[in-house]
C-alpha cells in the first residue's frame, strides 16, 4: 500500500511499480482481491484517497515553510516541484520538521539557470534556515561581563561559543533585501546577481535575518567553526586585505567593535554547556 500511495504517478502507476509488484503481485492484476470496492468507489479510487492526501498534506506543509519561494516561482510550479521533491525524498522522520531539509539543494539542481530561479534558490535557503533556527536547541546567552572576560583572557586561545540557533548563508543574490522589500509591502523586481552574506538566528523565541558585511560574516563563520577569537579576527582581516587591499583591512579592523556589539545584542554568543 505504501509503494502505491507514495508513487508520484498515481495509483495505477503505483500498482505497476516494481516495488508494489514485488510485495503483492496480485494487486496489479486484480486490485479488488486485495482492497474491496465500496458501493460508490472502486478499489483504486479508495486507494487514491490516501494517495491524494499524501501529497496534498506534505505540499501544504512545504507551502507554509517556503511562502516567498512559492511566490517567486508561482503556486502551480511550486506545487509541482514539491511533489517531485517529496517523491524523491520521502519522510524518514516521526515529525515533519526535517521533511524539506534538502529542498533548497533540490531546487538548485533542478531549476533552470535564470535570475528568477537563482533568487528562488537563495530565498529557499533563507526560509529553510528560518525553520531550522525556529526549532533549534536553547542556550544561555553570555552576559556582558562574561563576554568582556573572554576578550580579556589569555590571548590567542579564547574561544567563543556560538548559539545553535544560528545559520550563516553565502548567497548569490540579494535575497534578504528582496524579502525585506516584500515585507514592507513593495513589489520588487527580480534583482541582478550580487553576492550577499546573511545570518539567520533566533533570539529568545523570535527569528531574525540580517545582511552582513563580507568580512563580518567570515569572522562570525570562523568563530562558529570553533576558531579561537584571535585566529578568527586575524583570518577575517587577512581576507579583507586579500579581497580589497590594505585599506579594506583597516576599515574592517575599525568595524570589529561594532560587529561584536551587534552580535552580542543578538545574543549570538552563549555560555558553554554546564556553566549557567
- Per rule CB under 8 A, is residue 138 in the interface with another protein? yes
Q: Closest separation between CB of residue 6 and another protein, Å?
A: 7
- What dihedral angle (degrees, nearest 10) is formed by the CA atoms of 231, 221, 259, 179? 170
Of the pair 84, 116, the CB lying nearest another protein is at: 84
User: Distance between CA atoms of 116 and 119, rounded to whole angstroms?
Assistant: 5
Closer CB to another protein, 137 or 274, in the complex: 137
Q: Is residue 276 a contact point for another protein (CB under 8 A)?
A: no
CB of 25 to another protein, least distance (A): 15
Residue 210: strand, helix, or coil: strand
Residues numbered 181 to 210 that lie near another protein (CB under 8 A) are 202, 205-206
Judge whether 43 and 34 are in contact, CB under 8 Å: yes
Q: Of residues 75, 135, 186, 250, which one binds another protein by CB under 8 A?
A: 135
CA distance 88 to 105: 13
Interface with another protein, residue 2, by CB under 8 A: yes
For the CB of residue 102, give the shortest distance to another protein in the complex, in Å: 15
Site for another protein in 221-260 (CB under 8 A): none
- Choose between 57 and 246: whose C-beta lies nearer to another protein: 57
Contact positions with another protein (CB under 8 A) in 21-80: 32-36, 38-41, 43, 45-47, 49-50, 53-54, 57-58
- The binding track of 143-182 with respect to another protein, each residue x by CB under 8 A or -, is ----------------------------------------
Residue 15 CB, shortest distance to another protein, in Å, is 14
13 or 41: whose CB is closer to another protein?
A: 41
- Are the C-beta atoms of 224 and 162 separated by less than 8 Å? yes
Show the CA angle centred on residue 30, arms to residues 24 and 35, nearest 5°: 70
- Closest to another protein by CB, 49 vs 77, is 49
Provide the sign of the torsion angle of the four alpha carbons 218, 210, 225, 109, taken in this order: negative
Closest approach, Cβ 138 to another protein, in A, equals: 5
**CA–CA distance, 87 with 9 (Å, rounded to integer):** 9
Q: How many CB atoms lie within 10 A of CB 261?
A: 10
Cα 267 to Cα 38: distance, rounded to the nearest angstrom: 59
Integer distance in angstroms from the first to the last C-alpha of the chain?
51
**Cβ-based burial of 66 (10 A; exposed 0-12, middle 13-18, buried ≥19):** buried
Q: Residues binding another protein: what is the number (CB under 8 A)?
A: 39
Distances (CA, A) of 211 to 99, 179, 197: 27, 11, 6
Using CB under 8 A as the binding rule, the residues of this chain from 76 to 105 that contact another protein are 90-97
Footprint of another protein (CB under 8 A): 1-2, 5-6, 32-36, 38-41, 43, 45-47, 49-50, 53-54, 57-58, 90-97, 134-138, 202, 205-206
Amino acid at each position: 500500500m505504501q509503494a502505491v500511495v507514495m508513487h508520484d504517478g498515481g495509483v495505477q502507476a503505483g500498482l505497476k511499480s516494481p516495488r508494489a509488484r514485488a510485495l503483492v503481485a496480485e494487486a496489479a492484476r486484480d486490485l479488488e482481491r486485495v482492497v474491496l470496492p465500496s458501493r460508490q468507489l472502486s478499489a483504486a479510487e479508495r486507494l487514491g484517497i490516501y494517495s491524494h492526501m499524501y501529497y496534498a498534506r506534505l505540499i501544504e506543509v512545504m507551502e507554509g515553510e517556503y511562502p516567498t519561494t512559492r511566490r517567486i516561482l508561482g503556486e502551480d510550479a511550486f506545487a509541482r516541484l514539491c511533489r517531485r521533491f517529496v517523491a524523491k525524498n520521502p519522510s524518514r522522520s516521526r515529525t515533519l520538521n526535517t521533511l524539506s531539509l534538502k529542498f533548497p539543494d533540490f531546487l538548485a539542481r533542478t531549476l533552470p539557470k535564470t535570475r528568477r530561479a537563482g533568487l528562488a534558490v537563495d530565498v529557499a535557503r533563507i526560509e529553510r534556515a528560518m525553520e531550522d533556527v525556529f526549532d533549534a536547541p536553547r542556550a544561555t546567552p553570555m552576559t556582558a561581563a562574561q563576554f568582556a572576560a573572554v576578550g580579556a583572557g589569555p590571548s590567542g586561545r579564547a574561544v567563543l561559543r556560538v548559539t545553535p540557533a544560528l545559520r550563516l548563508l553565502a548567497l548569490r543574490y540579494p535575497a534578504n533585501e528582496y524579502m525585506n522589500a516584500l515585507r514592507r509591502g513593495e513589489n520588487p523586481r527580480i534583482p541582478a546577481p550580487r553576492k550577499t552574506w546573511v545570518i539567520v538566528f533566533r533570539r529568545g523565541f523570535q527569528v531574525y535575518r540580517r545582511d552582513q558585511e563580507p568580512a563580518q560574516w567570515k569572522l562570525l563563520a570562523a568563530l562558529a567553526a570553533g576558531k579561537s577569537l584571535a585566529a578568527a579576527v586575524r583570518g577575517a582581516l587577512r581576507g579583507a586585505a586579500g579581497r580589497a587591499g590594505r585599506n579594506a583591512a583597516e576599515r574592517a579592523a575599525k568595524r570589529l567593535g561594532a560587529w561584536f556589539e551587534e552580535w552580542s545584542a543578538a545574543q549570538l554568543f552563549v555560555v558553554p554547556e554546564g556553566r549557567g
